[in-house]
Amino acid sequence: MESLVQLAIIWVSVFIASVMATKTKMTPVLFFLFMGAVLVNTGILPQTGDPFIRGFAELGIILIMFALGFEENTRDFIVSMKRSWGIALFGALAPFCAAYLIADYFWGDINISIMCGLAMTATAVSLTMVSLKSMNLHKTPAAKGIMTSAILDDIGSLILVAILIPIATGDAVLSVWGIAEIAGKAVIFFIIITIIGMWILPDKSDNLIAKIPFIGKHGAKSLMSFGKEENVILTVLLVAVSAGLLAQEFGFHPAVGAYMAGLILREEYFQFIETPDVNHYKETKRIVDNVAFTWIGPIFFVELGAKIIFDADIFMAIIPQVIILSLGLLISQVISAAMAAKYTGGFVWQESIMIGIGMLGRAELAFVVMDIAYVQHHIITTDVFYTLMATALVLNIAVPVGIVLWKPYFMSETGKKENIP
C-alpha cells in the first residue's frame, strides 16, 4: 500500500508540474525534477527509493525514448541530414570536449569526465521548439536545422553512451581491444536494428526475406493489424521493450534500443486495409505520447529529482564548477553550432547563431546519463551530480532567453524573406 501512496503523490506532483510548465512555456522536465526535489526535501517522499517506483521509472524512460524516436519522420530526417550533419557533428563534439576538459580539471577522474561529456552532449529539441513556436519561428529553415541536428545529436550521443558507459562502469577494459570489443558490439547491435527495419518489418520486399515461407509474406503491418485494433498499442510497446532488452543483452542501456525501435517503425505500417479511413498512426502516437510524457515517463524525472537532497554546503561548494561549466558549454555550443551552420549548412549568420542558441537545451538523454552514472552505477559523486543538474538548468533557461534576445537580429535578415510577422 505504501508504494501506491507514493505513486499517487508523484502523479499529483506531475499534474502540478505540467500546469507550471504550461504557464511558463518551459519544458516540463525541469518542473518534474523540481517537484521530486521538493517532495524528498519536505519529507513527503522517503530518501530511500521504493523498488516499485524505481521499476516504474525505468519503464518510463524506455517509453520516453521510444516516443522520441517514434515521432521522427525517417524520410524527412534523411533529406534534412545532408544540410545539418556538420551542425550535429561539431555542435556535439565541442560541448563534449568542453565538459570533459572542465570535469577533468575539477575532479581529475577519467570516468567522471566521460560521464560529464556524455551528459552535456545531446540537445533537448522540445524546449527549443516550444520557445520558437511561441514567437512564430518554428517553421523557419533555422528551426528545421535545429530539429534535424538535435536528432542526429541524439543518435550520436546514444552511440557514445553505448560505447563509453561500459568502459566507465568497468564492464569493459580501457584498452585498444576493450574499446574495440564495445565498438564491435555497438556496430552489431545497430546492424541488427537496421536489418529489422529495412528487411524484416516491411511487408513488400524483393530481398531474400521475402522468399522465406510464411515469414516473407508478413511484416509489421500484418503484425499491427493482427487481432483487434486495440492490440496495436500493445504491439508497439512490446517492440519498444523487446528492443530495450536486446540492447541490454549487448551491454547497453535499454533506452538505446527503445529509441532505435521508435525510429524504424514507419507510418505506412499503420495503414490497414480493413479500416482505411482511420489514421492508426496518429492515434497510436497520441496514446504513446500520453503514456510516455503524461503518466509513466514523468515518474522517471520525479524519482531522479528526489535524489537532490538540499545541502547548503554542497550548493555553495559547486558554485564555481556550475559557473565555469555553464559558461564553457554555452560558448562552445553556440560558436561550434553557428560556425558549422554557416560553413557546412549554408545558413546566413543570423540563422546560424539562432541555431547555436537553439542547441543549448539539455533534457531527456542528459538525465538518462546522470541516472546511469549516479543512481545505477555510482560513477559520479554527489558534487558532480548536483553540478550537472544545475548546469542543465542554466542551459535550459538560456534557450528561451537567448531566442528572445536574438530574435530582432534574426528578423532583420530572415523576417522579410520568410514573411514572419
Domain ranges of the chain: 2-418
pLDDT digits (tens, 9 = 90+) for 340-372: 999 988 899 999 999 999 889 886 778 888 888
pLDDT at residue 87, rounded to an integer: 87
Q: Average pLDDT of 133-155?
A: 75
pLDDT at 268 over 90: no
3-state secondary structure of 78: helix
| pTM for the model | 0.71
Q: Average pLDDT of the chain?
A: 80
Percent of the chain scored above 90 by pLDDT? 22
Q: Which three cell numbers stand for residue 44?
A: 513527503
As a whole number of angstroms, the distance between CA 333 and CA 339 comes to: 10
Q: Average pLDDT of 132-156?
A: 76
As a whole number of angstroms, the distance between CA 101 and CA 130 comes to: 31
pLDDT at 218 over 60: no
List of residues 6+ apart from 129 with CB closer than 8 A:
138, 143, 146, 147
pLDDT band at 202 (very low <50, low <70, confident <90, very high): low
As a whole number of angstroms, the distance between CA 174 and CA 158 comes to: 19
Any long-range contacts for 274-279 (C-beta under 8 Å, 24+ apart)?
274/225, 275/229, 278/229
User: Residue 283, Cβ neighbours under 10 Å: how many?
Assistant: 14
pLDDT at residue 188, rounded to an integer: 83
Q: Average pLDDT of 105-119?
A: 92
pLDDT digits (tens, 9 = 90+) for 281-306: 888 888 888 888 888 988 988 888 88
| Letter string b/e over residues 185-195, b meaning 16 or more CB atoms within 10 A of that residue's CB | bbeebbebbee
Topology, domain 2-418: Na+/H+ antiporter like fold (1.20.1530)
pLDDT band at 221 (very low <50, low <70, confident <90, very high): low
| Letter string b/e over residues 21-56, b meaning 16 or more CB atoms within 10 A of that residue's CB | beeeebbbbbbbbbbbbbbbeeeebeeebbeebeeb
Q: Average pLDDT of 393-416?
A: 80
pLDDT at 142 over 70: yes
